[in-house]
Structure 1
Amino acid sequence: MKKSNTVFIVSLIISILFIAPGIIAPKQFAKIATSIQTFLQDKFGWFYLLSATAFLVFVLFLAFSKFGRIRLGKPDDRPEYSTITWFAMLFSAGMGIGLVFWGVAEPISHYFTPPNGEAASPQAAQNALRYSFFHWGLHPWGIYTLIGLSLAYFKFRKNAPGLISAIFTPLIGDRVNGPIGKTIDVIAVFATVFGVATSLGLGAIQISGGISYLTDFSNNFQTQFIIIIIVTFLFMFSAQTGLDKGIKYLSNTNIILAILLMVALLFAGPTNFIMDAFVQSLGSYLQYLPSMSFNLSTFNPKNSSWIQSWTVFYWAWWIAWAPFVGTFIARVSKGRTIREFIIGVLLVPTVFGALWFSVFGGTAINLEMFHDFHINDVINKEGSEVALFAMLGHLPLGNIMSVIAILLIATFFITSADSATFVLGMQTSNGSLNPPNKIKFVWGIVQAATAAVLLWSGGLEGLQTAAIIAAFPFAFILIAMMFSMVKELREELAAIRQEGKK
C-alpha cells in the first residue's frame, strides 16, 4: 500500500473514532475530553509556554543569522505571488475567524477579569489590550513560521515531498518513509482536523450570533448546524477550483473586507482614543514581552488559573493550527529568502493584529469606561459571539458594519476550510502540490462533521478542549523540527563554502 494511502486511511479512521463518541454519547464525550484537557493544562502549562517561546526565539535567530540569505527554492527562483497577495493569503489562513470573534470579546473579558490587579480600572484596560496583543502577536506567528519555513525549505530547496515527515530526513534518514514518518504525518493531520474545526465552530457560532442579534432567528445549535451545512457547500465548491482561483480570490476579498470594516470602525468610533491606545499598548507589549512569555503566576493560584484558561489555551490552539497554516504558507512562499520569509510572516500580521484589537477592543473599552454602555452585560447574557454586534449596534452605521462583519466571518470561514482541505489533501496524497479533489472532498466533510459534533457535545468549551488535546503530541514534532533544520542548514552552508573553494 502506498504511503499516501496509508496516511489517508489511518488519519481518517482516527478522526472518525474520535468524533463518533461525540455523536453517540455527547455528554460522556465532553466529560472525558474535559478531563484530558484539564490534565494537560495543569501538568504541562509550563511546557506550552516554554515551547512557544523557544519557537519564536529560534526563528528570530535564523532570520538574523548567516542562514537568512538562503532562498526557499533554487538560486534563481522568485516569488510566485505578489507581496500583497502573499500577506492576504497567509493572514486569512492564519487568523481569520478568530480575530473577528475575539476582537471585542477578549479585551472586554480581560478588562473585567484581569490577570492581576483591580477589574474595570485604567490598568485593567491597559492589560486587556496588552494581553490581546500577546495572544495574537509574535508567539503564534513564530510557531507558524517554524513549520512553514521548514516545509518550504525542504520542498523547494531540496525537492522533498511536501510532507511534514520529510523535514526529519536529516535526523532519521530513510525512516521518514517508514512507520515513524507515517506517524508524524498522521499526528499532523489529526492536529489539523481538530485545530481547524475549532475555528469553523467559532465561525458558525458568531455568524449565528450576528444573525440572531439582527433578526428574529434563534442563536442555537440548530441554526449553527444549518450555517455549517451552507458554508460547507460553499467551501467545497471553492476547493474544487484550486489554489490560484478560489483561495487566492477569497483571500484578497477577506483582506479588503477586513480593512474596510476596521477603517469604518476607526472613524465611526473614538479615533484619537484608538490610535493612542494602539501606540501605548504596542509599547507596553514590547516592554513586557519577555516576562509575559514565561509568566505562570505560580505563587498566585487565582492568576495562575487565568493564565491556564487564556495563554495556555492559545498556545495549544496555535500549535494545533500550525500544520495547517504552516503547510499553506509554505505552499505560497516559494522563491523568498529565509530572512524575507521570517520577517514578513512575523511582523506584518502581528502589527495588523495589534491594530485590529486597538480598533475593536479599544472602541469597546471606551464605551465601557466613558459612555456607560455595558458590553460585558451583553456577553454574560447572550455569549461572547454577540459582543462585536452589540458594540457595532451602538455606533453610527452599526447595522451596515454588522452586515459587513457577517460577510467577513463567512469569507474567513470559507477560506480557512478551503485552505485546510487543500493542506489535508497534500498531507494525505504524498505531498502533492495539487491534491485530488476526491481527497479534498472527504476532508471537507470530516472537518464540517467534527465542528458540528464538537459544538453539539460541548459548545465553545468543547472546541477549546479539542484544540488543546490535538496540540500536545504535535508540540514534540515542532521541537524536533528545530534540530533537523539546524542540522540541514549547517550542512548546506558547509557545502556552499566547499564549492566556493574549488
Structure 2
Amino acid sequence: MDKSDRSVFKISVGIASLFVLIGVLIPDQLGQAMSVAQAFMLESFGWFYQLVATFFLVFAIFLIFSKYGKIKLGKPDSKPEFNRPTWFAMLFSAGMGIGLLFYGVSEPIAHFSSPPMGEGSTEQSAIVGMRYTWLHWGLHAWAIYAVVALALAYQKFRKGAPGLMSATLYPVLGEKVKGPIGQTVDVVAVFATLFGVAASLGLGSQQINAGLEYLFGIPNNFMVQMIIMSIITVLFIISANTGISRGIKLLSNVNMSLATLLFFAMLILGPTLFLLNMFTTSLGSYVQNVALMGLRLSPFDGDEAAFTQGWTVFYWAWWVSWTPFVGMFIARVSKGRTIKEFMIAVLLVPTLVCALWFTVFGGTGIYLELIQGLNVSGQGLETALFYVYQQLPFGIILSILTVALITTFFITSADSATFVLGMQTTGGDLNPPNRVKITWAIILVASTIVLMASGGLAGLQTAIIVSALPLTFIVLVMCYGLIKGLNQDLKEERHGTAKGKGKKVA
C-alpha cells in the first residue's frame, strides 16, 4: 500500500474502532442518539431519497436507449469473459441474499395486514402488499446498483482505473481523486458498506436463531445470536483467507443450489395455482403503479408517511449503502458487455428473480392467512418463514435447508464484504492482504453486535440511513462523471474516424 492507501485504511479502521468502543462503553446513549438521528433523517430526507431513487431508474433507462448504448465496458475489441447464461446466473446470484429469506414471507404479509393505504387483511391489501414488496426489491433497487456498477466497470475496464469508488469521479475531479477528496470518498464508501452488510448479518443471525428455536428449542435471544455470529465469524475468516476464487466461488455455488431447491419446493408444496395467479396480478399492479409508488410520501396522512419512511426510504438508503459491495461484484463479471446489454440485464434479471421469490414465499403466507385463516402476520419478522413451513409438508426438511442456506449466505456476504472492504482500503488491490481482511472481519462483526445491542433492527436501520446519505451525493456526481466520460469517448471516436478517413483520401 502507498501512503494514500494507508491513510484510507488507518482512518477507516480508526473511526470504526471508535464507533465499536462507544457502543461497548455507553450502548444506551448510543441507542438514544441513533433513534434521534433516524427520526430526523427519515422525516427530513425522505423526499430526497424518493426523488434520487426515481432519478437513478430514469437515468438507467435513458442509458439503454441513448447514443452511449453501443459503448463497451472495455476496449472496443473486448470480448465478454463469461457466456450469457453464466453471466445471467451471476446476476441472479447478486440478487440473492439473507434479505430475501428474512423478508420473503414477512414483508408481503406485513404489508398485507398493515398496508400503506386502505384496510388491511383483504384481497385488495394482498395485491397492494405484494406490489410494494416488488417496489422495494425491484427496478428502483437494481437501477441504483446498475448505475454504480456501470461507472465502476467503465473506469476499470475501459480506462484501466483501480476498482475504487473515488476512481469513478475522475472525469469530474481529475487528479484530485488521488488526494484528500478521493480518500474521503473511499472512506464514506467503506462505512456505507460496513453498515449495509452489518444489517444483513444482524438479520441473518436473528433468523438462524429463529430456525434453531423451531428445530431444536434453542432460546431465541441476543446472547444466542452473539454466539452464532462468533462461530460464523471464524468460518468466514477461514473462507476469506482461501481467496476469492476458491472460498467465495464454492459457497456461491452452494447458495445457488440451495436457493433454487427451496424456491421450487415452496412453489410445488404451496398453493401453486394461487401463486401463479398472484404473480400475474401483481405484475400488472406493479407496472401500473410503479411511478406513483416510487414518489409517494403522503404529506397529509401521518400513518401513510410513517410507512413510506419506515419501509421505502429505509430500503433506498440500504441499497445505496450496498452499492460499493454489489456494484463491484456486478462490474467484475461484466467486462466486454455493451452499456445497453449491461443495463437491460442488470435491471431485469435480478428484478424478475426477486419478484418470483417474494410471490412464492410471501404469496404462500398470504394464502395461509387470507384463505385458511392462520395468523401468519402475528409472527415476528424472523419467525414468519418457519411458521409457514410448519403448515406445509416436509416443513422440518425445509427449515433445515433454510438454516443451512442462511448460514452459507451469512458466510458469503461477510466473506465478500471483507474482500471489498480490504480492496477499498488498499488502493483497489484485487488480492488484499489477509491481515487487512481479518481486521475488517472483526470490525464488521463487532459493529453488527454493537448495533444490535444498542437498538436492534432499528439500530441497524439508523446506521444504514445515516451512512448512505453522503454516499448518495457521491453517486449523483458519479452519474455526471459517467456522462462526461462517455461524451469524451464518443468525441474521441468521431475524431479518430474523421482523421482515419482523411488519411485514406490523402
The aligned counterpart of 2:229 is 228
The aligned counterpart of 2:73 is 72
* 8 Å contact kept, 1:268–1:395: yes
The aligned counterpart of 1:302 is 303
* 8 Å contact kept, 1:85–1:252: no
Correspondence for 1:462 among 455, 459, 464:
459
Shift of 1:239: 1.3
1:496 aligns with 2:493: yes
1:346 aligns with 2:347: yes
Shift of 1:319: 0.9
The aligned counterpart of 1:217 is 218
State the alpha-carbon separation in 1 of the partners of residues 74 and 252 from structure 2.
24
1:280 aligns with 2:281: yes
The aligned counterpart of 2:202 is 201
User: Any residues of structure 2 matched to 1:254-333 within 5 Å, and which?
Assistant: 254-333=255-334
* 8 Å contact kept, 1:155–1:162: yes
Shift of 1:91: 4.2
* 8 Å contact kept, 2:94–2:350: no
The aligned counterpart of 1:482 is 479
Larger deviation: 129-138 or 77-86? 77-86
1:143 aligns with 2:147: no
Shift of 1:256: 1.5
Larger deviation: 72-81 or 197-206? 72-81
State the alpha-carbon separation in 1 of the partners of residues 38 and 375 from structure 2.
32
1:81 aligns with 2:82: yes
Larger deviation: 361-370 or 444-453? 444-453
The aligned counterpart of 1:440 is 437
State the alpha-carbon separation in 1 of the partners of residues 413 and 489 from structure 2.
35
Larger deviation: 272-281 or 234-243? 234-243
1:57 aligns with 2:53: no
User: Any residues of structure 2 matched to 1:375-394 within 5 Å, and which?
Assistant: 375-377=376-378, 379=379, 383-394=380-391
State the alpha-carbon separation in 2 of the partners of residues 27 and 4 from structure 1.
35
* 8 Å contact kept, 1:93–1:419: no
The aligned counterpart of 2:244 is 243
State the alpha-carbon separation in 2 of the partners of residues 236 and 14 from structure 1.
22
Shift of 1:251: 1.6
Larger deviation: 332-341 or 111-120? 332-341
Residues 88-145 of structure 1: CA deviation (Å, up to 9, x unaligned): 4444445400011000000111111110001111111110100010000011111111
**Counterpart secondary structure, 1:297:** coil
State the alpha-carbon separation in 1 of the partners of residues 402 and 86 from structure 2.
21
Shift of 1:16: 1.4
* 8 Å contact kept, 1:56–1:142: yes
State the alpha-carbon separation in 2 of the partners of residues 84 and 217 from structure 1.
42
Larger deviation: 355-364 or 445-454? 445-454
State the alpha-carbon separation in 2 of the partners of residues 273 and 117 from structure 1.
23
Residues 261-319 of structure 1: CA deviation (Å, up to 9, x unaligned): 01001010100000100111011101101111111011212111111111011111111
State the alpha-carbon separation in 2 of the partners of residues 239 and 342 from structure 1.
30
Shift of 1:478: 0.7
State the alpha-carbon separation in 1 of the partners of residues 65 and 402 from structure 2.
38
Residues 368-412 of structure 1: CA deviation (Å, up to 9, x unaligned): 0111211122x1xxx210100000111001111111111111111
**Counterpart secondary structure, 1:260:** helix
Shift of 1:352: 0.8
1:412 aligns with 2:413: no
* 8 Å contact kept, 2:92–2:353: no
State the alpha-carbon separation in 1 of the partners of residues 364 and 490 from structure 2.
50
Change (3 A) 1:317 1:27: same
* 8 Å contact kept, 2:95–2:354: no
* 8 Å contact kept, 1:313–1:468: yes
Q: How many pairs were matched up? A: 498
* 8 Å contact kept, 2:145–2:326: yes
State the alpha-carbon separation in 2 of the partners of residues 295 and 406 from structure 1.
36
Larger deviation: 183-192 or 234-243? 234-243
State the alpha-carbon separation in 1 of the partners of residues 50 and 494 from structure 2.
37
State the alpha-carbon separation in 1 of the partners of residues 57 and 251 from structure 2.
29
Shift of 1:357: 0.7
The aligned counterpart of 2:502 is none
* 8 Å contact kept, 1:141–1:350: yes
Shift of 1:202: 0.5
The aligned counterpart of 2:37 is 36
Identity %: 54
1:168 aligns with 2:165: no
**Counterpart secondary structure, 1:169:** helix
1:425 aligns with 2:426: no
Larger deviation: 248-257 or 115-124? 248-257
* 8 Å contact kept, 1:110–1:128: yes
* 8 Å contact kept, 2:240–2:437: yes
State the alpha-carbon separation in 2 of the partners of residues 125 and 365 from structure 1.
7
State the alpha-carbon separation in 2 of the partners of residues 345 and 426 from structure 1.
23
Change (3 A) 1:130 1:325: same
The aligned counterpart of 2:504 is none
